[in-house]
Amino acid sequence: MKDKNFEKLRKMNKNRYEGKCIGLADGKVVFSDKDPIKVMDKLMKNYSNKEIMVTSIPKKNVNFVL
C-alpha cells in the first residue's frame, strides 16, 4: 500500500513551506506553521480519521553538523 502523504511530500515543490512544519492528510497539505505542536493539534482535531503526517521543511542552505 502506498503512503499518500509520503508520495505527496516526495513530489511536491517545497519552496513555499521552507522553515515551516507541514501537516498532510490523505495526500494533501492541509496546515502549515512554524510550530509543529499547532500543526499536530489541528490535524488531530480536524483529520483524526484520516492518514496524517507532520514533517518540517528546512530552509535552503542550512548546514547540518553531526
The b/e string for 12-34 (b: 16+ C-beta within 10 A; e otherwise) is: beeeebeebbbbbbebebbbbbe
The confidence score (pLDDT) of residue 62 equals: 62
- Regions of the chain where pLDDT drops below 50: none
Measure the CA–CA gap between 60 and 55, rounded to whole angstroms.
16
Q: Which three cell numbers stand for residue 6?
A: 509520503
Q: What is the pLDDT of residue 11?
A: 92
Cα separation, 15 vs 25, in Å, equals: 19
Q: Give the model's pLDDT for residue 64.
A: 62
Sheet holding 20-25, edge to edge: 28-33, 20-25, 52-57
